[in-house]
Amino acid sequence: MGRYVLRRLAIAIPTLAGISLAIFLVLALAPSDPMADFATSPEIPVEVRENIRRSLGLDEPMPVRYVKWLGRMVQGDFGFSFASRSPVGKLILERLPATLAVVGAAYVLGILIAIPLGVLSAVRRYSLVDHLATTFAFVGFSLPTFFTGLVLVIVFAVNLHWLPFIYDSTVAVRDWDSLVRQVKQSIMPISVLALFTAATMTRYVRAEMIEHLPQDYVRTARSKGLSEREVVRRHVLRNSLIPVVTLLALGIPNIFSGAIVTEQIFSVPGLGHLLIKSIVSGDTPVVLGITFSYAVLVVVFGLIADVLYVLLDPRIKYT
């Protein structure tokens, strides 16, 4: 197992290097220019613009810029933002709590919905409950997060006026009223991501439960006199969740990417909102830092999923 983890880590290094090169080339060849605002201003002389470009390192060849950025990034330095001149790492850490609050709550809520719904759908196969759960899963999985978000905004914010349309990042929880405001403004973004997570995981839980229910060990458990609830809870569900747990690990980077659009819709001041803003303004260091962080999440949680699969199922051995 230890050798497998070390081998995967060794493979992850060139993988991340290749991803970083691809991201850097895409952004370097993009038509956006961080100096566009200065270029349209007649008050800034050409010499000043060139000095600013030189100070940002934009006058250097692309390979030189990539090697310098990669060297700083390996040391944990993502550079400075073109727009605010603040360290990119600091900007990411400032926006990370808002993203973690929304993504974390949505993921937990989605799992709490998916597991019992998937179990109930499999146990009562072809019943009305199963048809409703399957419809919910396919609809929730098929609808993009931006569409679901817009529907919630139109229904609950514009028409019913139950929930706020814009996320207020200045709200600090100090008393009951501020807590209610924070909860109300978090309901829609969390619901959008939780719906997608619950719909995705419900399908997997149902499929795994249906696969395990006819197994011999289940019939043996029933023959021992165990109740159907005990058979499902202690035997079928426990074995069915082994591949689901690994999927939960793999799904964490996906929900972070889904939060990009959701944060933009509800103006949640998280990493997704910062990423879109930086792309529009041509703030390359911030875009590089956030997208590479997402790539690291994918690689790391892919490794975690493989390790969890071995720990939960001793029959699987990695050499």
Place of tokens 């006819």: 214
Question: Does the pTM exceed 0.85?
Answer: no
CA 160 to chain centre: 30
Three-state SS for 80? strand
Return the pLDDT at 285.
87
Q: Is position 275 within any domain?
A: yes
State how far the Cα of 34 lies from the Cα of 283, in Å rounded to an integer: 6
Three-state SS for 317? coil
| Torsion angles phi and psi, residue 37, rounded to 5 | -65, -40
Return the pLDDT at 76.
83
Return the pLDDT at 40.
54
State how far the Cα of 69 lies from the Cα of 17, in Å rounded to an integer: 12
Q: Is position 251 within any domain?
A: yes
State how far the Cα of 28 lies from the Cα of 168, in Å rounded to an integer: 34
The token pair that represents 67 in the structure block: 């090697």
Domain count, the chain: 1
CA neighbor of 73 nearest in space, from 56, 57, 89: 89
Q: Is position 219 within any domain?
A: yes
Return the pLDDT at 315.
67
Return the pLDDT at 245.
81
CATH number of the domain residue 146 falls in: 1.10.3720.10
Q: Is position 82 within any domain?
A: no
The token pair that represents 179 in the structure block: 């807590």
Question: What percentage of the chain's residues is helix, strand, coil (to nearest 5)?
Answer: 75, 0, 25
| Torsion angles phi and psi, residue 87, rounded to 5 | -60, 135
Domain that holds residue 235: 96-281
pLDDT mean by block of 10 residues, the chain; 319 residues: 78 88 86 61 67 73 86 85 85 89 90 93 91 92 89 91 83 83 90 91 91 88 86 86 81 82 87 88 87 89 80 67
Q: Is position 287 within any domain?
A: no
Q: Is position 14 within any domain?
A: no
State how far the Cα of 197 lies from the Cα of 105, in Å rounded to an integer: 11
Return the pLDDT at 308.
77
Q: Is position 159 within any domain?
A: yes
Would you say how long the chain is, in residues? 319
Return the pLDDT at 257.
80
Q: Is position 308 within any domain?
A: no
